Amino acid sequence: MKAVVFHDIGDIRLDTVADPTIEQPTDAIVRLTSSAICGTDLHMIRGTLGGMQPGTVLGHEGVGIVEEVGRGVRNLRRGARVLIPSTISCGACSYCRAGYTAQCDTANPNGAQAGTAFFGGPASTGPFNGLQAQYARTPLAGASLVPLPDDVDDDRAILLSDIFPTGYFGAQLAEVRPGNVVVVYGAGPVGLFAIASARLMGAGRIFSVDRVASRLDMARTMGAEAVNFDEEDPVEALMELTGGIGADRVIDAVGVDAVRAGNGGNGANGVDGVNGVDGVDGKSARFDEEVQEITQGRGAQNGAWQPGNGPSQVLQWALKTVAKAGTIGVIGVYPPNDRFFPIGEAMNRNLTLKLGNCNHRTIVPKLVEIVREGAFDPLGVLTHREPLMNVLDAYRAFDAREPGWIKVKLEP
């Protein structure tokens, strides 16, 4: 079969690999009808989320048809149409029963303390071959896969595999309540669904911070007020717009590849931008140290796949724009070796910080119903549909944040 394979930082290829087979009685083999490219894939290719095993098939978003099931799968048969949640969970351990399916005790072969198991990720997450492929082996299939109703089509269902539930999880972590003022950093696909979710939870006002005009336009159409951090100081702007109080709830939907302020719009990810103002107080040197420590100098070169140049930028802004005693929800991914969080500032303002990987299996069924009933239509976020043959070009456009490239569905 054809699959997108991780070879090295900055080196992914569309290869021909062996078809997956049933390895455990709880496995299913799914023929993918849709997959997608995600910001999390970019961290791995840029080298900011390390530990990838060469040869791993990438991708953790999928919809497909069950081809074959092991004898331990009792609820699905060949031919069933299913959504594959990004994270894998058993449904039987105490964490799964309590809804913390991203912290399942049994899904990760590295052991109960190893953390989240997901498709197409670093060695510490499995590793499991991913879903940017024609077929996939899905472990713990009976508990993990979500059967899809016919009236939720693939274009919508693929958005429910990871990014909509993650945005929803971000709004849950941030404890969004009716009337709240919410700031969402990042207007990528995940940030946009955090905006949509905050709205579903009754937020009063929602601000969206990014620097990509087409993404901020989309945020506006989803009901947010836009702040472009290349054009103004986002901290000053947000404090002014919130009556000097700040936001009750802040969501970080950016993660480790955050771009620092003051880049003036240069370069795909602003890496070749001007350090100007930041340089004066030594902030840019500190950001450089963060990047160096996180990537250990392995960041990709040649313009593409550039790591963000301000890993803690969003966390710093989040602390400065959240109201006293407010809550910050972090869904942006940070690697285990990232230790840059301004804890003193958070402590002294009585903040609540909640973070983590989305408990997909707990959230997805509810969102499938919301979409089926038509209470919210996620389709607007899907901007591109590409055959798997075009995947490398699609990856480059998404990595470079080309105008209008927000979410890419792949058709294997």
Ligand X SMILES: NC(=O)c1ccc[n+]([C@@H]2O[C@H](COP(=O)([O-])OP(=O)(O)OC[C@H]3O[C@@H](n4cnc5c(N)ncnc54)[C@H](O)[C@@H]3O)[C@@H](O)[C@H]2O)c1
Q: What residues line the site for Zn ion (CB under 5 A)?
A: 38, 40, 89-90, 93, 96, 104, 162
Residue 357 within binding range of ligand X, rule CB under 6 A: yes
Binding residues with ligand X: total (CB under 6 A): 35
Phi-psi region of 10 (alpha: psi -120 to 50; beta: other; left: phi over 0): left
Contact 207, 182 (CB under 8 A): yes
Residue 43 within binding range of ligand X, rule CB under 6 A: yes
Q: Which does 104 bind (CB under 5 to 8 A by kind): ligand X, Zn ion, none?
A: Zn ion
Residue 38 within binding range of ligand X, rule CB under 6 A: yes
Greatest distance between any 2 Cα atoms in the chain: 64
* Of 20 and 89, CB closest to ligand X: 89
The minimum distance between CB 192 and ligand X, in angstroms, equals: 7
Among positions 66-105, residues that touch ligand X (CB under 6 A) are none
The minimum distance between CB 104 and Zn ion, in angstroms, equals: 3
State the Cα–Cα distance between residues 279 and 262, nearest whole angstrom: 10
**DSSP structure string for 315-366:** HHHHHHHEEEEEEEEE-S---TT-----HHHHHHTT-EEEE----HHHHHHH
* Of 67 and 155, CB closest to ligand X: 155
Which helix (H) or strand (E) segment is 313 a member of?
helix 313-321
Whole-angstrom distance between the N-terminal and C-terminal Cα of the chain? 10
Among positions 253-312, residues that touch ligand X (CB under 6 A) are 253-255, 258-259, 308, 310
Contact 84, 64 (CB under 8 A): yes
Residue 191 within binding range of ligand X, rule CB under 6 A: yes
Contact 40, 60 (CB under 8 A): yes
Structure-token pair, residue 335: 């690697």
* Of 210 and 248, CB closest to ligand X: 210
Structure-token pair, residue 120: 């197409």
Q: Which of 108, 166, 306, 312 binds ligand X (CB under 6 A)?
A: 166
Residue 211 within binding range of ligand X, rule CB under 6 A: yes
Burial 139-165 (b: 16+ CB within 10 A, else e): bbbbbbbbebeeebebebbbbbbbbbb
Q: Which does 331 bind (CB under 5 to 8 A by kind): ligand X, Zn ion, none?
A: ligand X
Residue 210 within binding range of ligand X, rule CB under 6 A: yes
* Of 146 and 261, CB closest to Zn ion: 146
The residues, ordered by sequence, that sit 6+ positions from 192 with a Cβ below 8 Å of its Cβ are: 167, 215, 218, 219, 222, 381, 406
Q: Which does 251 bind (CB under 5 to 8 A by kind): Zn ion, ligand X, none?
A: none
The minimum distance between CB 380 and Zn ion, in angstroms, equals: 18
Among residues 120, 119, 95, which one has the least CA distance to residue 105? Answer: 95
Chain centroid to Cα 366, Å, comes to 19
The minimum distance between CB 366 and ligand X, in angstroms, equals: 16
Q: Which does 370 bind (CB under 5 to 8 A by kind): ligand X, Zn ion, none?
A: none
* Of 12 and 333, CB closest to ligand X: 333
Q: Which does 312 bind (CB under 5 to 8 A by kind): Zn ion, ligand X, none?
A: none
Interface residue list for ligand X (CB under 6 A): 38-40, 42-43, 162, 166, 185-191, 209-212, 215, 229, 253-255, 258-259, 308, 310, 313-314, 331-333, 357-358, 401
